[in-house]
Amino acid sequence: MPTTKLARLALEDGTVFHGRAFGGSLKDFEGAGEVVFNTAMCGYQEALTDLSYTGQILTMTATEMGNYGVAPEDIESASPCVAGFVVRELSAIVSNQRATRSLSDWLADAGIPAIEGIDTRALVRRLRIGGAMRGVISSVPLADASDLELVARARAIPSMAGANLAAKVSPRCGGRYEEALGEWAPRGGLFVETKPTPAGRAAGSRFQVVAIDCGAKRNIYRHLVERNCDVHFLPHTATAAEIRAMKPDGLFISNGPGDPAVVKSVIDTLREVAGEVPTFGICLGHQLLALALGATTWKLKFGHRGANQPVRNLLTGRVEITSQNHGFCVDETSLRAAGGEPTHIHLNDGTLAGFRHIAKPIFSVQYHPEASPGPHDSAYLFDVFVEMMTTRRPVGASEMERAQAALAAV
């Protein structure tokens, strides 16, 4: 194993777990954030680089992590972005021809504190019962910081509620994303191979999509590029005038971290422009669209994080197994009052997982149709967005059914 250095994870409820340190740096380290858990069996690299985990200590429920190392092609942002990482066991070997280094070395270079050798079942049970909690990972010796001192530090961490972390991870300036799915591209579906042309344009023209980037995963943009879209991303401070000046065929609002209700700049912009062109939101983008329309959001007890979350499409009746990562949810009653209609429902707890506007070309989902990692059941939603840009009409059951059936036939 890379280290036998001791480490501790302290929770705000007074619980302290003792284990072994990895990642971090050569010196004593400490990391603080909201402790959450992910039920995916694999995909630790994509999760660690998902900017939606900013400010959180991520716990994986699967027993062993690190067994297939780290491959540069699999990251979703420039570097790991979690506040800390918790696993039951760190693999002693790396077995993967694509890997270039070990998980521990990669986290060490990024300065991410991590702990292994604790009872993650007990930790997850505590988070399920008590809800997501603030916590501290520390490799500082007990003589320098007692368990009680670490618990006190955990209790002093600001709450995730009210935290505008999208402002922290959003790009400082705009740009263009050009990478497609490459060898991972699906075969079949509606618009992956046919490459439709925007209405009223010369043959071969591409859809111009403006993306408000609140911490987007790269695989979202890859799916759009694969479907004949030029993706122009803008920071979360983008104004309505800046968006209109680009004359987009469609508007996309990305995933991201923190409390959606405090990302005022995006909410204000969407309140002005949402529905002027076909609009699609994912995760935080879903919440921001709902807030801009006049709905409200609330914080889930322990969130939905994993690659096995069941969702029913209410327009088609089909069930999708989805990849999810969020701690907040849109209130369904307030959404209906704001002109929204639920399109997807989470089957574990009945919470809202997607909606469309009844009169405007707006739709969004709470989960991640790009997966990475996770099942591809929901990739059809990118086809629905492309079709909505083609027709410029609100999304309907027929579009959902056709796109879902085409993906299922692949």
Q: Return the active site residues.
A: 283, 368, 370
Distances (CA, A) of 316 to 279, 313, 396: 21, 6, 10
Q: How many of the other CB atoms lie within 10 Å of CB of 261? A: 18
Distances (CA, A) of 100 to 97, 105, 106, 257, 348: 8, 10, 10, 29, 38
Distances (CA, A) of 28 to 114, 197, 200, 293: 12, 56, 61, 47
Q: How many of the other CB atoms lie within 10 Å of CB of 214? A: 30
- Of 364, 331, 323, 372, the C-alpha closest to 350 is 331
- Of 240, 248, 184, the C-alpha closest to 385 is 248
Dig out the tokens for 94 from the structure: 């790396």
The residue count of the chain comes to: 410
Check: CB of residue 214 under 8 Å from CB of residue 285: yes
Give 243's DSSP letter: H
φ, ψ dihedrals at 120, nearest 5°: -70, -25
φ, ψ dihedrals at 147, nearest 5°: -60, -40
Using only C-alpha atoms, the chain has a radius of gyration, in whole angstroms, of 21
Q: Can the peptide bond before residue 141 be classed as cis, meaning omega within 30 degrees of 0?
A: no
Q: How many of the other CB atoms lie within 10 Å of CB of 313? A: 23
SS3 182: helix
Dig out the tokens for 106 from the structure: 């990669």
